[in-house]
Amino acid sequence: MTHTLLTLTAVIALFLSGCGQTAPDLNGSNNNISDANAISGDTVSIDESNYGNESSGSYNSSADGFRSVYFDFGDYTISSEMENAMNNNIKVAMSSSSKIKIEGNCDEFGTDEYNYALGLKRAKAVKDSLVSQGIASDKTVIVSFGESSPVCTEPNDSCYDRNRRVDLRLVK
Amino acid sequence: MKHLFSIILLVHFFTLSLFGVDATLKIETDVEHRSRIALVDGSPVKNAQVFKILLSDLKISGHFIPDTTHHEGDVTSNLILPGLKGKEYVLKYSMKQTSGAKLFIRLLKASDGTQVFKKSYAVPARSKMPFLLHKAISDVNNILKYPSISWINRYVVYAIYTTPGRSEIRLADYTMTYKKTIIKGGLNLFPKWADAKQRAIYYTSYKELIPTLYKLNIYNGSKQKIASSQGMMVCSDVSKDGSKILLTMAPEGQADIFEMNVGSKSKRRVTNFKGIDVNGRYIDNESRIVFVSNRLGYPNIFKKSITSAATSQVVYRGRKNNACDAHGNKIVYSSRESNNAFGKNTFNLYLATSGSSSTRPITTRGTNQFPRFSADGSVVLYLKQTGYSTSIGYINLTSSQSLLFPYNGKKIQSIDW
Query: Domain map of chain B by residue range?
Result: 27-150, 154-416
Q: Which of B3, B15, B253 sits opposite A5 (nearest CB)?
A: B3
Q: Is B184 close to A47, i.e. CB distance below 8 A?
A: yes
- Residue B372 and residue B325 in contact, taking contact as beta carbons nearer than 8 Å: yes
Q: Which of A16, A146, A171 sits opposite B15 (nearest CB)?
A: A16
CA distance to A57, B257, B258, B262, B263, per residue, from B266 (Å): 39, 14, 10, 8, 8
Identify whether A120 is part of a domain: yes
Choose, out of A31, A39, A152, the residue to mutate when testing the contact with B (most B CBs < 10 Å). A39
Identify whether A61 is part of a domain: no
Per-residue pLDDT, A35: 47
Q: Going by DSSP bridges, is the β-strand pair B321-327/B330-336 parallel, antiparallel, or unpaired? A: antiparallel
Alpha-carbon distance of B244 to B266, in angstroms, equals 10
B189 vs A: CB within 8 A: yes
B82 vs A: CB within 8 A: no
Reduced to 3 states (helix: H, G, I; strand: E, B; else coil), residue B316 is: coil
Q: What is the DSSP letter of B146?
A: P
- Residue A72 and residue A110 in contact, taking contact as beta carbons nearer than 8 Å: no
> Among residues 191-210 of chain B, which lie with CB inside 8 Å of chain A?
205-207, 209-210
Checking A56-61 for CB contacts under 8 A at 24+ apart, the result is A56/A149, A56/B163, A56/B164, A56/B165, A56/B166, A57/A151, A57/B164, A59/A149, A59/B165, A60/A105, A60/A149, A60/A150, A60/A151, A60/A167, A60/B164, A60/B165, A61/A151, A61/A167
CA distance to A107, B166, B272, B312, per residue, from B275 (Å): 19, 28, 9, 16
Q: Which of A77, A95, A46 is nearest to B168 (CA)?
A: A46
Q: What is the DSSP string of A106-147?
A: --TT--HHHHHHHHHHHHHHHHHHHHHTT--GGGEEEEE-TT
pLDDT at A119 over 90: yes
- Residue B47 and residue B95 in contact, taking contact as beta carbons nearer than 8 Å: yes
Q: What is the DSSP string of A18-60?
A: HHT-----SS--S-----GGGGTSPPP-EE-TTSSS-STTTSS
Residues of chain B positioned with their CB less than 8 A from the CB of A160: 342
Query: A132 φ, ψ to 5°?
Result: -65, -20
Identify whether A81 is part of a domain: yes
In chain B, how long is the greatest CA-to-CA distance? Answer: 90
Bridge partners of residue A11, in order along the sequence: none
Residues of chain A positioned with their CB less than 8 A from the CB of B414: 112
B167 vs A: CB within 8 A: yes
Whether domain B27-150 has CATH 3.40.50.10070: the reply is yes
Q: Is A113 close to B279, i.e. CB distance below 8 A?
A: yes
The dihedral over CA atoms of B330, B322, B288, B191, expressed in degrees to the nearest 10, equals -90
Q: Is A112 close to B414, i.e. CB distance below 8 A?
A: yes
A82: domain CATH number is 3.30.1330.60
- What is the reported pTM? 0.86
pLDDT above 90 coverage of chain B, percent: 80
Q: Is A46 close to B183, i.e. CB distance below 8 A?
A: yes
Q: Which of B210, B209, B202, B160 is nearest to B185 (CA)?
A: B160
Instruction: Calculate the average pLDDT of chain B.
Output: 90
- Between CA A62 and CA A73, with CA A68 as vertex, the angle to 5 degrees is 135
- Residue B251 and residue B258 in contact, taking contact as beta carbons nearer than 8 Å: no
- Can you give the residue range of the structural domain that contains A75? 69-170
Alpha-carbon distance of B391 to B276, in angstroms, equals 30
Residues of chain B positioned with their CB less than 8 A from the CB of A142: 230-231, 250, 253
B171 vs A: CB within 8 A: yes
> Angle at which helices A83-95 and A112-132 pack, to 10 degrees?
70
Alpha-carbon distance of A143 to B212, in angstroms, equals 11
- Residue B226 and residue B209 in contact, taking contact as beta carbons nearer than 8 Å: no
Q: Which of B116, B210, B278 sits opposite A113 (nearest CB)?
A: B278
Reduced to 3 states (helix: H, G, I; strand: E, B; else coil), residue B173 is: coil
Positions in chain B short of pLDDT 50: 1-2, 4-5, 7-31
Alpha-carbon distance of A108 to B392, in angstroms, equals 19
What residues contact residue B377 under an 8 Å CB cut-off, 6+ apart? B327, B328, B330, B397
What residues contact residue B35 under an 8 Å CB cut-off, 6+ apart? B63, B64, B65, B88, B89, B144
User: How many residues does this entry show for chain A?
Assistant: 172
Residues of chain B positioned with their CB less than 8 A from the CB of A123: 231, 253
Which amino acid appears at position B166 of this protein? R
B248 vs A: CB within 8 A: yes
Q: Once rounded to an integer, what is the mean pLDDT over residues A80-94?
A: 96
Q: Which of B3, B124, B276 sits opposite A117 (nearest CB)?
A: B276
Q: Is B116 close to A26, i.e. CB distance below 8 A?
A: yes
Choose, out of B173, B230, B256, the residue to mutate when testing the contact with A (most A CBs < 10 Å). B230
Q: Going by DSSP bridges, is the β-strand pair A46-47/B179-184 parallel, antiparallel, or unpaired? A: parallel
Q: Which of A35, A43, A116 sits opposite B180 (nearest CB)?
A: A43
- Residue B42 and residue B93 in contact, taking contact as beta carbons nearer than 8 Å: yes
Query: Nearest residue of A to residue B206 by CA position?
Result: A52
Alpha-carbon distance of B267 to B236, in angstroms, equals 14
Identify whether A13 is part of a domain: no
* Helix or strand holding residue B122 (H, E): strand B115-123
Q: Is B279 close to A114, i.e. CB distance below 8 A?
A: yes
Q: ipTM of this model?
A: 0.85
Per-residue pLDDT, A172: 83
| Assigned CATH class of B154-416 | mainly beta
Reduced to 3 states (helix: H, G, I; strand: E, B; else coil), residue B24 is: helix
| pLDDT tens digits, A4-62 | 554 554 444 434 333 333 333 333 333 333 444 456 678 989 988 876 554 443 456 89
Residues of chain B positioned with their CB less than 8 A from the CB of A155: 343
Per-residue pLDDT, A51: 64
Residue B342 CB: number of other CB atoms within 10 A?
15
Which amino acid appears at position B409 of this protein? G
Residues of chain B positioned with their CB less than 8 A from the CB of A143: 206, 209-211, 230-232
Alpha-carbon distance of B254 to B257, in angstroms, equals 10
Per-residue pLDDT, A38: 55
Residue A121 pLDDT class (50, 70, 90 cuts): very high
Q: Is A114 close to B278, i.e. CB distance below 8 A?
A: yes
B125 vs A: CB within 8 A: yes
- A83/chain B closest Cα distance in angstroms: 22
- Residue B167 and residue B415 in contact, taking contact as beta carbons nearer than 8 Å: no
